[in-house]
């Protein structure tokens, strides 16, 4: 996946490369958020800290942790990476044994710090904190209704809507939460904390990943399994679509708020690009799944060449799979500079034209005079793909064959992924051949949906579309998406 | 006014001296807050910035500005001084021609940043921002009622209560605001901003100061006149108790929300200590008023001595007045280090015993062998007074006669001043003679209430108690203060 | 003293007001530096820290402390105030019982951090650190000679010259230091530290102040006595012109390096403006001396008026003296905002014209309709005086009579004070009447040199010119100042 | 390569993981430094900035750039990454067309900032700046001689010695530099800049890499070719052992200062571990060379297993080579968290025991039930290897076979690599079998020296020991290393 510079001006006045596999120069799709929950561990805040650190790739712009010590909440939120937002003194102040945490993408500025999660409220029954990953499609509609009833909002986050729905209910917390979850439509993983309870919910289609683990007597919840592994916890299972788990002094209660007929539809881009390669989704390791995507790609679109290379970091696994399947050697055809990140000074236009490459360099001695197969995970606008292909050519590649491990990305996501307007999505208006020409490749192939489903594999293979949401490829959204004309894109957590 | 170390640990791990005339080592009473409003000036945010800078002494721990550009609000709030919280890029982003700003005391940490004002909300009719100085005595009671009705709160600030009352009302903004202001009891100056209006209100007793000025076509509102002077604005008049001013596209509407019989009761400590000496209250310049307090003190409690000195900075004016009245020369008997402030490293116990003085030093060559009259504005706990008296003695003073320009401080304030528990107020349990002994003075005198009223002067002299609130001295509170057992001290803005 | 804006852009892009009595908007003459030394105290670094804090007004732009633990030096230097440059961890690392410290004016940037003192070197006999206050007039000449001999320099500081002279000598440390001090011409206070010794020297004319104190068994040295008072030390005496004190394991040795006939010539501006009012010079308290200057001024240039006011902070003492002498009341005619300092955002030109006053405001209610006597300490370029006079008139003053407690400032200082080029000194080209017109005053008077000498008083009154250097007023420099055409202005410490 | 925690406390009080492939938790050998030079490019400072950014892995603790604008030098140095040390304003101030830059490892604190390079001096002929990578073995001896001659030193860096030697010489710059380079013994790459010249030199054995490129008319010099590629420059050639290049207004002069018989001896660890995989050394791409090391390892020490995995990031290439050679699949058996770096909070002992893994996690689903071949580049102390092996076992690996792509590391480096004391090097006292037991591996194999030479390949294969320095493995140092008993380890640049 590859596209043009996202110039976001921070208050420091500096350009912001986000510092990992999904940076500015390559304008990758932005993951929406990551959540982490702890129920009853004496060191709850620290576990949340390390867990969020492991989920950092899901959101690099703000981080927050809220802990309940029974009587009161202690929390801190800030702009930046987990390691930047927290320090020893702050951590020491976060005492308590229930915790929820959040990492998120957002733009800078105080008004957006206000949106940093977990959101924390006082309501009739005490304290209430909410952290979520995903997007509520009918949030504006509900919000308008609430405002007519006299509610005031401090954030622009959809998450606040759910807190209001709970607070306004005359039922007890669990019933109020069920009512609220039933009202909302979208893709989401929810952690809701009160002074003595933790509620955990997934949307009815299971669009966003959410998993449960155990460390001693404590229960843990995380957007990805890598966060459990990082803290040495045992993986129990994934949260099911429509589930509502309640943790209170009597332990874990497995409940549901949605009994309707909803297809299982886990976001395919989690498999293709977002989730960390050492995470498991539905029992499948992501690195292995991506290698299978590479193998599948080799079966679908073999081309003879001298070497296979992957756009780092997300396409390395697929490239190795392609190489293993074809016997063409995997080589390091390009390398990413690890030190990019916030506050880097951008080269002047002149220097950029002279070829100053801050983030990704071709390895001349590897690609010179070679026919190169370049594996990437997606094409959004096409500009970055073109840039990479040309960089390989400038470094002497004789041919560049591009293989994309996803079908053409044509439709916006309504479930938590920050996608550009449909008109900017190159695949929504151009044919594969036109895209090939645009990115200056010798050949171009997009994975078939069937191949993708097969490569993902797992026990969902027999489900409708393999249990995946492929809406960004095939326009088949698993939920209603149009509410009184409001069309909400991207992530609003 | 003088008392013991308030050791507050910031997250930097360093001791926090707040950096001006009211620092930690001397544990002065804390002013509650300062507010500043602008209606229709193209540079509204900048005016708020300079205005708040002039009000910085009223709150050094957080600062915020919210500006309306008609369609939307732009705001920024942060911990620290005005000059630290804002920078050029932030200021440039605060576009619009209506603004409200706030400086405030609070403790550090994100949960308290959340309390930083102006509070900003979305409600049925758009955006709503509120900044206030003061305290609402029945806030908890109202809050409980609102929570029962399903409201959720994001802050612990009383101010949020008022926003909820307005949002819940089915009346138009002005009527809703009047209803809300009628519901609350306390001492407060309120600035309420919507996308196109500014509302300005003072409590029915006029406990907290609030003044109005004009700069070209723009209206300005400030806690003290010095903020108007700083930006070159013309002073129009003080806001009257019970007034509600409404500024909208038709200009200024002078209205009232309270017609009840309320005595005028402006906080006496504003005269004695809080307000800047170059501000006017009720048409009286504060420096001049404090000089009169010094003169009055000389009339009430003359003592023969070699020199008069004032505890800097707040008691310099009174000391000069005392000197002028008596003919005893005013001398610089002690000096305050200007560079104190946050992050200063505290001396070790050993060094402290060796006499390391970070903040205030006696001027040995001035006081040595002399009989000293030391003027101060109040005694809270007594420990700092004792420390200063002893410092003067160590520097060779033969006698130290303490003159306090306020009556004994015996009762907590419910209207926005951060006072310690009644048991910690030395004057609530000890006689003047006992206090004199405790602070090791040769003589001690507290100003009489009558003398204070006479010195303050102005057109209110004929009013009940000179139009002043003297409750902290005489326990005669101008409002009901007990609501279902809730006794709220200090400032909750 | 008063003059125009010094706009210096820091790397933060913000304007830099230095934060105390000598800030940018008023372009006061800059003090050169302050030094502090400790010999044999277990908490040497902490004493240096508090001592430098008390000397902060002598240099706000960098600070440094170097400590000897016998075997090695530990040091830290940085840009900013003492409290900003050091923190607890850094202080904890500065172990040892001999220390020298320094505060200094300089411009920002690494190349200037390099100039921050103490300068620290390794030489034949171990470690060597030097801190100085003042200026060496023939430094460039010596430097050229040393470079011809193969020396390399890392700073542009004159102080480095002295270290080279010592290192190049084949004599022992004390003799080498004497030779070096004899070679240099200028005004300076020197602290030189080796692994086990401390050397303390003053120039042959005693141009810069330097004083000695005692705390338990430890000896202390400071540019001003206020630093001794701050740490609870006993004042012993001032260092004499031409003295070289040597402190080693055998204690204090009082020696001299200069026996020539040099007039005693302590910088008059230290009395008039630089030194803190609670410091003593030659046994005279500065506040008292400045009050005498005010009285003397009243005798020399009485004018009938309604009030006397002083430009804060430096002229408050003199204004009180003038008021006492004449019986005209001292009033707070203007007030300085305490919160100015680095990173403050400057008002736009438009707002400045509207009268936004960041630093100094007239107190309208005090001066309105009054004839005002305004006391200031000096006039450098005249622009700021004009601005203040006009500000008083704008606030309604009927007449403004300016009284300056120094003679006209006509000549640059070669001994450590940062003065502008002679052509910019208004008094070097204009008559008093022309200056009066330029600054828009109703009358203007400069103190006579005789009056100044009388007001300073002390045991030096019988000395030539009262033991003062008045060169900036009368062009009578106490040393040779022209070396091969090199004319070095200001401070190079 | 793998070893125990290096807990270094920064002044922030936080643990310092350096943020890339060579972090604290794994205590990799520290690269010594990186240098970058520009001769005559209008944007010299920017090129140095981007070049140093590409060399960041060679030194993460300080960075500096010095530029000559003809008349004067402009420079900035600071602690931290290139992107942290510089900002736009600083870059804008670095005007000129000749530049040298430096990145370096060092410990924090001002005394070490002083050591940050480029070192900048003033000497007889103007300005002089020096940046170096490597170590001078006889530096102390020369330093003592210079000190006897009256030289003073401001740093503890060997580099300063060379500046003194040049300044003390009566010859012209080039001859003086030749004399100085002849005096020193060690491994080094030198960049020396004056107001109008740039000198470039490599030690007589060519121990440290240094390469030359061209961008338009400008000449560029860099420790590694990746820095040239990053800025779009053409690679010309590597600097030869004993060369001294002089760039002045007449262009490039290729000269030599050493004609003696010295074996070519480029540091083998550059091939094995330090240099970036996209750099070339002697015309060999490093990724390719490391793949050959993996293949060679497979030939030398095949073992049957289910998968091959490499310790990220440095051993990925070798692991892929091993997999290709053997047909055993390459898998992602462990993953490194990209967000580690300075200021991360370390887990408590208890949490560490519970298995919190901040930096490296095993991928359970990949290794569970599998026989794993783990490729690493070296073993220093052995503790980290043991930790990784155990982590793989905890994640379910049945067998762990460790393959190290270097011979046993037994001897300290004198040429710029920061190695622990010989007694801490596990291979200097234990047999391979004992090490295997210590690290808990099922089998362990170290690459043979012959295999390493063959894998490195290139045109040097026929040279003595393949043109490599293997002293850390075989104790055969290419230079004299003992000078009057001084044994200098590691890097002193």
CATH number at residue D115: 3.60.20.10
Q: How confident is the model at residue B10 (pLDDT cuts 50, 70, 90)?
A: very low
- On chain D, the residues whose CB falls within 8 A of the CB of C151 are 123, 150-151, 167
How far apart are the CA of C174 and the nearest CA of chain B, in angstroms? 32
pLDDT for res D110: 52
Query: Strand C468-469 and strand C266-267: pairing?
Result: parallel
Q: List CB contacts of B341: < 8 A, sequence separation 6 or more.
A: B17, B18, B19, B20, B23, C83
pLDDT of residue B28: 59
CB-based burial label for B443 (10 Å; 0-12, 13-18, 19+)? middle
pLDDT digits (tens, 9 = 90+) for D421-457: 788 899 999 999 999 999 999 999 999 999 999 999 8
Closest to D311 in 3D by CA, of D249, D274, D361, D246: D361
What are the two backbone dihedrals, phi and then psi, of residue A357, each rounded to the nearest 5 degrees? -120, 110
Residue B395 C-alpha, separation from nearest chain C C-alpha, in angstroms: 9
Q: What is the pLDDT of residues D68-105, one digit of tens each?
A: 999 999 999 998 899 999 999 899 999 999 999 999 97
* Cα separation, B182 vs B184, whole angstroms: 6
Looking at the structure, tell me whether residues B169 and B204 fall in a common domain: yes
| Judgement on whether residues C360 and C446 belong to the same structural domain of the protein | yes
Q: What is the mean pLDDT of residues A112-126?
A: 89
What residues of chain A have any CB closer than 8 angstroms to a CB in chain B? 11-13, 73-78, 87, 89-90, 93, 109-111, 114, 119-124, 128, 147-154, 156, 163-164, 167-169
B216, B232 contact by CB (below 8 A): no
pLDDT band for position C176 (50/70/90)?
A: very high
Q: For residues D481 and D484, what is the distance between their CA atoms, to the nearest angstrom? A: 10
- Asked if B150 and A167 come within 8 Å (Cβ–Cβ), the reply is yes
Catalytic residues of D: 33
On average, the pLDDT of chain D sits at 88
* Minimal Cβ distance to D167: which of C74, C111, C150: C150
| B251 shares its domain with B372 | no
The string of pLDDT tens digits covering residues A148-197 is 999 999 888 888 999 999 999 999 999 999 999 999 999 999 999 999 99
pLDDT confidence band for D21 (50 / 70 / 90): very low
Does pLDDT of A423 surpass 90?
no
Which chain D residue is nearest to residue A391, measuring alpha carbons? D232
pLDDT at B340: 74
Distance from CA of B341 to the nearest CA of A (A): 20
pLDDT confidence of residue D24: 37
Give the best residue of C285, C365, C396 to mutate against chain B (max B CB count within 10 A): C365
Q: Is the pLDDT of residue B108 over 50?
A: no
Tens digits of residue pLDDT in B355-370: 777 788 899 999 999 9
Mutual angle of helices D173-183 and D158-168, in 10-degree steps? 130
Coil, strand or helix: which one is B198?
A: strand
% of chain D with per-residue pLDDT over 70: 89
3-state secondary structure of C277: coil
Give residue-wise pLDDT tens across range B151-184. 999 888 888 999 999 999 999 999 999 999 999 9
Q: Using CA atoms of B287, B290, B295, B296 in order, give the dihedral in degrees to the nearest 10.
A: 150
Confidence of residue C30 (pLDDT cuts 50, 70, 90): low
Contact yes or no for D220/D236 (Cβ under 8 A)? no
Contact residues for A261 (Cβ-Cβ < 8 A; gap 6+): none
Distance, CA of C6 to CA of B196 (rounded, Å): 40
pLDDT at C225: 96
Which residues does D contribute to its contact with C (CB < 8 Å)? Answer: 9, 11-13, 73-78, 87, 89-90, 93, 109-111, 114, 119-124, 128, 147-148, 150-154, 156, 163-164, 167-169
pLDDT in tens, C347-360: 888 887 777 777 88
Which pLDDT value is given to residue C259?
84
Query: Which of C126, C150, C179, C194 to probe the D interface (max D CBs under 10 A)?
Result: C150
**Residue B74 is assigned to a structural domain of this protein:** yes
Angle at A127 between CA A121 and CA A133, to 5 degrees: 60
Domain count, chain C: 2
Q: What does pLDDT average to over chain B?
A: 88
Question: Would A340 be classed as within a structural domain?
Answer: yes
Instruction: Give the pLDDT mean for B242-253.
Output: 97
Rg for chain A (alpha carbons), in Å?
A: 23
Contact: D152, C90; criterion CB under 8 Å: no
Task: Examine residue C378 and state whether it is found in any structural domain, yes or no.
Answer: yes
Q: State yes or no: pLDDT of C489 exceeds 70.
A: no
Out of D11, D119, D164, name the one closest to residue C89 (CB): D11
Asked if A327 and A418 sit in the same domain, the reply is: yes
Structure confidence by residue, pLDDT tens digits, A385-412: 999 999 999 999 999 999 999 999 999 9
Residues D221 and D314 in one domain: no
Is D413 part of any known ligand binding site?
Answer: yes
Say if residue D256 is in the same domain as residue D288: no
The reported pLDDT for the residue numbered C15 is 26
pLDDT (tens digit per residue) in A431-479: 999 999 999 999 999 999 999 999 998 767 688 999 999 999 999 999 9
Regarding predicted confidence, which is higher, B353 or C169? Answer: C169
- Are B329 and B416 in the same domain? yes
Residues at the binding site of C are: 267, 314, 376-377, 413, 469, 472
Using pLDDT thresholds of 50, 70 and 90, give the confidence band for residue D493.
low
- Whether D101 maps to a domain, the answer reads yes
Neighbours, chain C (3 or more CB pairs < 8 A): B, D
Closest chain B residue to C325, measured at CA: B329
Q: Reduced to 3 states, what is the DSSP secondary structure of residue A452?
A: helix
Q: Which residues of B are known binding-site members? A: 267, 314, 376-377, 413, 469, 472
Q: Which residue has the higher pLDDT, C457 or C57?
A: C57
Residues C338 and C444 in one domain: yes
Confidence band of D492 (pLDDT split at 50, 70, 90): low
CA–CA dist B285, D376 (Å, integer)? 78
pLDDT digits (tens, 9 = 90+) for C432-451: 999 999 999 999 999 999 99
Q: Does residue A310 share a domain with residue A164?
A: no
Cβ atoms within 10 A of the Cβ of A259, count?
Answer: 8
CB within 8 A of B402, min separation 6: which ones?
B374, B376, B385, B389, B436, B439, B441, B443, B444, B445
Tell me whether residue D467 is in a domain: no
Distance of residue A30 Cα from the nearest chain B Cα, in angstroms: 25
| Average of per-residue pLDDT values in chain C | 88
Secondary structure element (H or E) that encloses residue D76, with its range: strand D73-79
Task: Tell me the catalytic residues of A.
Answer: 33
| Residues D256 and D298 occupy one common structural domain | no
List the single range of B419-423, B467-471, C407-411, D121-125 with lowest mean pLDDT: B419-423
Classify residue C393: in a domain, yes or no. yes
0.90 cut: is pTM over it? no
Residue D143 has pLDDT above 60, yes or no: yes
**pLDDT tier at B459 (50, 70, 90 boundaries)?**
low
What's the per-residue H, E or C state across D336-377?
A: ECCCCCCCCCCCCHHHHHCCCCCCEEECHHHHCCCEEEEEEC
Residue B115 burial by Cβ neighbours in a 10 Å radius (0-12, 13-18, 19+) = buried
Which tens digit of pLDDT belongs to each residue from A215-271?
A: 999 999 999 999 999 999 999 999 999 999 999 999 999 999 998 789 999 999 999
Is B89 close to A11, i.e. CB distance below 8 A? yes
Q: Is residue B283 part of a domain?
A: no
Separation between Cα atoms, residue D187 and residue C292, nearest integer Å? 70
**Which has the higher per-residue pLDDT, A484 or B361?**
B361
Name the residue among A287, A343, A358 with its Cβ closest to that of D366.
A287
Q: What is the pLDDT of residue B55?
A: 95
Tens digit of pLDDT for each residue in A259-275?
878 999 999 999 999 99
Band (pLDDT 50/70/90 cuts) for residue D489 is low
So what's the pLDDT on residue A161? 95
D38 shares its domain with D76: yes
Binding residues of A for [4Fe-4S] cluster: 267, 413, 469, 472
Residues C88, C192 within the same domain: yes
Confidence of residue C187 (pLDDT cuts 50, 70, 90): very high
> What pLDDT is stored for residue D491 in this prediction?
53
Residue-number span of the structural domain to which A107 is assigned: 31-262
Q: Which of the four pLDDT bands, split at 50, 70 and 90, describes residue C20? A: very low
pLDDT digits (tens, 9 = 90+) for C391-440: 999 999 999 999 999 999 999 999 988 787 788 899 999 999 999 999 99
Residue B15 lies in a domain: no
Question: Rounded to a whole number, what is the distance in Å from the CA of D150 to chain C's nearest CA?
Answer: 4
The CATH code of the domain that includes A309 is: 3.40.50.2020
Which are the catalytic amino acids of B?
Answer: 33
SS3 C187: strand
Q: pLDDT tens digits, residue range D197-250?
A: 999 999 999 999 999 999 999 999 999 999 999 999 999 999 999 999 999 999
Q: Which pLDDT score is estimated for B6?
A: 24
pLDDT at C9 over 60: no
Which of A20, A86, A366 is opposite residue D339, by nearest beta carbon? Answer: A20
DSSP state letter for C430 = S
């Amino acid at each position: 996946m590859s596209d043009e510079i996202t110039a976001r001006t921070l208050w420091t006045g500096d350009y912001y490369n986000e510092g990992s596999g999904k940076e500015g120069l390559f304008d990758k799709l932005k993951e929406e958020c990551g959540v982490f929950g702890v129920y009853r561990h004496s060191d709850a805040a620290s576990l949340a800290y390390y867990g969020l650190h492991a989920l950092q790739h899901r959101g690099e712009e703000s981080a927050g942790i809220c802990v309940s010590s029974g009587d009161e909440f202690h929390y801190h939120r800030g702009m930046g990476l987990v390691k930047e937002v927290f320090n020893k003194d702050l951590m020491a102040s976060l005492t308590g044994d229930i915790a929820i945490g959040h990492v998120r993408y957002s733009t800078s500025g105080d008004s957006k710090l206000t949106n940093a999660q977990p959101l924390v409220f006082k309501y009739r029954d005490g304290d209430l904190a909410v952290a979520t990953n995903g997007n509520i499609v009918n949030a504006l509609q509900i919000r308008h209704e609430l405002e007519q009833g006299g509610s005031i909002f401090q954030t622009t986050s959809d998450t606040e809507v759910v807190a209001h729905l709970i607070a306004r209910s005359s039922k007890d917390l669990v019933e109020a939460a069920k009512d609220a979850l039933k009202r909302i439509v979208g893709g989401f993983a929810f952690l809701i904390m009160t002074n003595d309870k933790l509620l955990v919910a997934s949307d009815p289609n299971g669009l966003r990943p959410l998993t449960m683990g155990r460390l001693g007597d404590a229960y843990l919840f995380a957007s990805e399994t890598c966060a459990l592994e990082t803290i040495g916890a045992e993986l129990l299972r994934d949260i099911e679509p429509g589930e509502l788990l309640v943790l209170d002094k009597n332990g874990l209660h497995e409940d549901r708020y949605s009994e309707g007929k909803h297809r299982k539809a886990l976001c395919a881009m989690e498999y293709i690009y977002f989730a960390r390669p050492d995470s498991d989704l539905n029992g499948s390791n992501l690195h292995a799944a991506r290698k299978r995507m590479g193998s599948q790609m080799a079966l679908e679109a073999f081309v003879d060449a001298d070497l296979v290379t992957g756009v780092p970091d997300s396409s390395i696994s697929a490239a190795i799979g392609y190489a293993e399947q074809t016997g063409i050697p995997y080589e390091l055809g390009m390398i990413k500079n690890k030190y990019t990140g916030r506050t880097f000074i951008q080269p002047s236009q002149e220097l950029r034209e002279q070829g100053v490459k801050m983030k990704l360099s071709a390895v001349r001695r590897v690609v010179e005079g070679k026919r190169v197969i370049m594996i990437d995970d997606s094409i959004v606008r096409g500009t970055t793909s073109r840039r990479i292909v040309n960089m390989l050519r400038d470094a002497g590649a004789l041919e560049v064959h591009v293989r994309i491990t996803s079908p053409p990305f044509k439709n916006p996501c309504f479930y938590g992924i920050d996608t550009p307007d449909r008109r900017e999505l190159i695949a929504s208006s151009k044919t594969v051949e036109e895209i090939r020409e645009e990115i200056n490749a010798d050949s171009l192939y997009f994975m078939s949906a069937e191949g993708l489903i097969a490569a993902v594999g797992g026990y969902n293979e027999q489900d409708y579309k393999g249990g995946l949401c492929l809406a960004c490829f095939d326009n088949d959204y698993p939920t209603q998406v149009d509410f009184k004309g409001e069309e909400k894109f991207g992530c609003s957590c």
